[in-house]
Chain A
């Protein structure tokens, strides 16, 4: 299943809805979209992954690149499916992002 993306920016919050699968093929599209969103220097990136059914390490690397580009960025992972939570836990990403089932407030965590 290919990856479709829907992005928006509002103030310091950028949103990216990912539908489908992020793998070695589609991760480059995701990265390009994240890079584009980062140009407006958001402090929050909300990744809506409710409809994301698969994510390999290629998707994780996009998150690393984003944080390297903008270390103060807070990444929210919204409504991930259990296998993706599992991946985030195993790779230590669970502690580096905000995994949440509810829309984040504008206030950011430390």
Chain B
């Protein structure tokens, strides 16, 4: 019946009764039952109008609808007035009902008649107002006999509802480990099986992997493709239904022996991704109350596997994305630490015309642990360092930051020789080096009065002196150990004499070990060639540009796996008044 909506005042009562009468009559209720239903609806509607609307100073409609469901006639009366719950209202007791009329309370009679008129009177307060539900159990209702067709229809309906529920449950979980636990639980219950297991395909090893909970720990089971029932399922990408596990030669009873479980029947199905690649295999064991899984079960498990595939693929994508995001963030942090510590403003000492100095780090995508630094010890001497930490990533960046700070402190705190500053730095790094990293270092002090450099070497690449008149010479270092290994190591001091216009060029192995696409190394010879060809008297920045340009041209499109670092300083002597033009 079409619902009736009518303004909520007492004039509505007649139409409401007519509606209820029609609903009752079409549901084949007896005449007296129809009357009682009309009376019940009338009484409640009267209360709604008088108490819900008029007394509360409200206006609104009344809507009456009627349905028949599972042998019940249900009339619903909706209103938007003040809440009025007749089911909570007291009704007159047998005692008060037997009082003389003049002593009777006038309240409660309507509710009594309303409750009496139906099998169930329900009340519900909703966002939109109130709903009164008048329910009458239909006496002639006979549920249809479940014939074969409707039984199968109801089974299909059950499966569809399970699929929806699985899809909903799995859709909420993006964390892979938790998802796997959920999948096993959902599949076991949906398939009405005693147990389930899930094996994920490891594309790298070409094996199926299952993590089996054993008390507090987990044991990993690996299965070759093609081996056993799971392996065969994965290899052929076909569902396998085994009614009697112990009669199948592929069945491996060792898990039963280990767990005490007795496998009877197995249904094993592949889980495939959207594009058909193998994600895993799901196995359900022992159909409850039945000897074996049916062909219907096969189809149902395959349908479930479609949802598992989507959920697994999604969780894997999320995991990969999160990992890459975390990795990117940590690299970015490492890079910021590294770059935040090195002097990057040039000219660095505009007040000292006889000194031109330039440094650069081209950080690798993987972030190495290169460093350079320079600072004045006094008006005439500049201290410098270049280094390369053995490792990469955040630990290397932190180690580099520590080395750089310790070096500055050691150099500025005393007027010691560069060899003993290196010794102190080495001791400090040995002490604080829990991660077994080391750093190669070349450090020195340039005296701007005469161009002399006192240096100490900690296993670093040999520097070049680029001559004022052109050409470059690789310095034969005094030699020394990388820092962070052996405490109390005594570094030897070496000397380099720069003539006015000469430059000292320091670099890290990011240059010599830069690789082209064919994995050829850049090597020291190419440095020599480029420096030899460089224009005489060129500025430190220009010289750096030429060398870095040479490296970039050599590398081409190949991946830069290490930091590339350069530090160049030119001794101007008294003759040079300002840094040479670029």
A interface residue numbers (CB < 8 A to B):
1, 21, 23-25, 54, 56-58, 60-61, 63-65, 67-68, 71, 75, 82-83, 86-87, 90-93, 95-97
Task: Please report which residues of chain B, range 8-52, place their CB below 8 angstroms from some CB of chain A when the two chains form the complex.
Answer: 10-11, 13-14, 17, 32, 35-36, 38-39, 42-43, 46, 49-50
Task: Please report which residues of chain B, range 72-121, place their CB below 8 angstroms from some CB of chain A when the two chains form the complex.
Answer: 92, 97-102, 104, 106, 109-110, 112-113, 116
Tell me the complex Cα distance, A46–B400, Å: 112
Q: Is the CB of A96 within 8 A of B113?
A: no
Subset of 18 A-B contacts with CB under 8 Å: A1-B14, A23-B14, A24-B10, A54-B38, A58-B46, A64-B102, A64-B104, A68-B101, A68-B102, A75-B101, A83-B35, A83-B36, A87-B113, A90-B113, A90-B116, A91-B112, A92-B92, A96-B101
Q: What residues of A have a CB within 8 angstroms of the CB of B101 in the complex?
A: 63-64, 67-68, 75, 93, 96-97
Q: How far is the CB of B8 from chain A (nearest CB, A)?
A: 12
Q: Is the CB of B98 within 8 A of A95?
A: yes
Q: What residues of A have a CB within 8 angstroms of the CB of B49 in the complex?
A: 24
For the complex with contacts A24-B42, A67-B102, 12 further pairs of A-B residues with Cβ separation under 8 Å are A23-B17, A25-B10, A25-B14, A54-B38, A56-B43, A61-B109, A64-B102, A67-B100, A68-B101, A83-B35, A83-B39, A97-B101
The 8 closest A-B pairs by CB, nearest first: A92-B97, A57-B109, A24-B46, A67-B102, A96-B101, A57-B110, A83-B35, A67-B101
Tell me the complex Cα distance, A60–B43, Å: 12
Q: Is the CB of B43 within 8 A of A57?
A: yes
The 0/1 profile, CB within 8 Å of A marked 1, for residues 143-156 of chain B is 00000000000000
On whether A83 and B32 interact (CB within 8 A), knowing A24-B46, A24-B49, the answer reads yes
Q: Is the CB of B32 within 8 A of A82?
A: yes
Q: How far is the CB of A20 from chain B (nearest CB, A)?
A: 10
Tell me the complex Cα distance, A58–B43, Å: 9
Q: What residues of A have a CB within 8 angstroms of the CB of B46 in the complex?
A: 23-24, 56, 58
- Give the size category of B's interface with A: 20 to 34
Tell me the complex Cα distance, A87–B38, Å: 12
Tell me the complex Cα distance, A58–B99, Å: 18
Q: Is the CB of B13 within 8 A of A23?
A: yes
Chain A residues touching B, majority SS: helix
Q: What residues of A have a CB within 8 angstroms of the CB of B13 in the complex?
A: 23-25
Q: What residues of A have a CB within 8 angstroms of the CB of B109 in the complex?
A: 57, 60-61, 91
Q: What residues of B have a CB within 8 angstroms of the CB of A91 in the complex?
A: 92, 97, 109, 112-113
Tell me the complex Cα distance, A58–B100, Å: 18
Q: How far is the CB of B34 from chain A (nearest CB, A)?
A: 9
Q: Is the CB of A25 within 8 A of B116?
A: no
Q: What residues of A have a CB within 8 angstroms of the CB of B10 in the complex?
A: 23-25
Task: Please report which residues of chain B, range 525-564, place their CB below 8 angstroms from some CB of chain A when the two chains form the complex.
Answer: none
Q: How far is the CB of B286 from chain A (nearest CB, A)?
A: 59
Q: What residues of A have a CB within 8 angstroms of the CB of B43 in the complex?
A: 56-57
Q: Is the CB of B104 within 8 A of A56?
A: no
Q: What residues of A have a CB within 8 angstroms of the CB of B97 in the complex?
A: 91-92
Tell me the complex Cα distance, A83–B13, Å: 18
Q: How far is the CB of A28 from chain B (nearest CB, A)?
A: 9
Q: Is the CB of B32 within 8 A of A86?
A: yes
Closest residue of A by beta carbon distance from B111: A57
Q: How far is the CB of B457 from chain A (nearest CB, A)?
A: 108
Q: What residues of B have a CB within 8 angstroms of the CB of A68 in the complex?
A: 101-102
Closest residue of A by beta carbon distance from B17: A54
Q: How far is the CB of B39 from chain A (nearest CB, A)?
A: 6
- Among candidates A25, A61, A82, A87, residue contacting B106 with C-beta atoms closer than 8 Å: A61
Q: What residues of A have a CB within 8 angstroms of the CB of B32 in the complex?
A: 82-83, 86
Q: What residues of A have a CB within 8 angstroms of the CB of B116 in the complex?
A: 90
On whether A87 and B39 interact (CB within 8 A), knowing A57-B109, A61-B106, A92-B98, the answer reads yes
Tell me the complex Cα distance, A59–B17, Å: 16
On whether A90 and B112 interact (CB within 8 A), knowing A24-B50, A25-B11, A57-B43, the answer reads yes
Q: How far is the CB of B35 from chain A (nearest CB, A)?
A: 4
Q: What residues of A have a CB within 8 angstroms of the CB of B106 in the complex?
A: 61, 64-65
Q: What residues of B have a CB within 8 angstroms of the CB of A54 in the complex?
A: 17, 35, 38-39, 42
Interface centre among A23, A54, A65, A75 (most CB of B within 10 A): A23
- Among candidates A56, A61, A82, residue contacting B42 with C-beta atoms closer than 8 Å: A56
Q: What residues of A have a CB within 8 angstroms of the CB of B17 in the complex?
A: 21, 23, 54
Q: What residues of A have a CB within 8 angstroms of the CB of B50 in the complex?
A: 24
Q: Is the CB of B14 within 8 A of A71?
A: no
Closest residue of B by beta carbon distance from A95: B98
Q: Is the CB of B102 within 8 A of A56?
A: no
On whether A96 and B42 interact (CB within 8 A), knowing A24-B13, A24-B49, A91-B112, the answer reads no
Tell me the complex Cα distance, A65–B102, Å: 7
Q: What residues of B have a CB within 8 angstroms of the CB of A90 in the complex?
A: 112-113, 116
Q: How far is the CB of B16 from chain A (nearest CB, A)?
A: 10
Tell me the complex Cα distance, A60–B107, Å: 11
Q: How far is the CB of A43 from chain B (nearest CB, A)?
A: 14
Closest residue of A by beta carbon distance from B96: A92
Closest residue of B by beta carbon distance from A60: B109
Tell me the complex Cα distance, A96–B39, Å: 21
- Among candidates B39, B42, B102, B112, residue contacting A71 with C-beta atoms closer than 8 Å: B102
Tell me the complex Cα distance, A97–B100, Å: 10
Q: What residues of B have a CB within 8 angstroms of the CB of A64 in the complex?
A: 101-102, 104, 106
Tell me the complex Cα distance, A96–B97, Å: 10
Q: How far is the CB of B96 from chain A (nearest CB, A)?
A: 8
Tell me the complex Cα distance, A57–B92, Å: 13
Closest residue of A by beta carbon distance from B49: A24
Q: Is the CB of A96 within 8 A of B100?
A: yes
Closest residue of B by beta carbon distance from A96: B101
Q: What residues of B have a CB within 8 angstroms of the CB of A60 in the complex?
A: 109
Q: How far is the CB of A108 from chain B (nearest CB, A)?
A: 15
Q: How far is the CB of A110 from chain B (nearest CB, A)?
A: 13
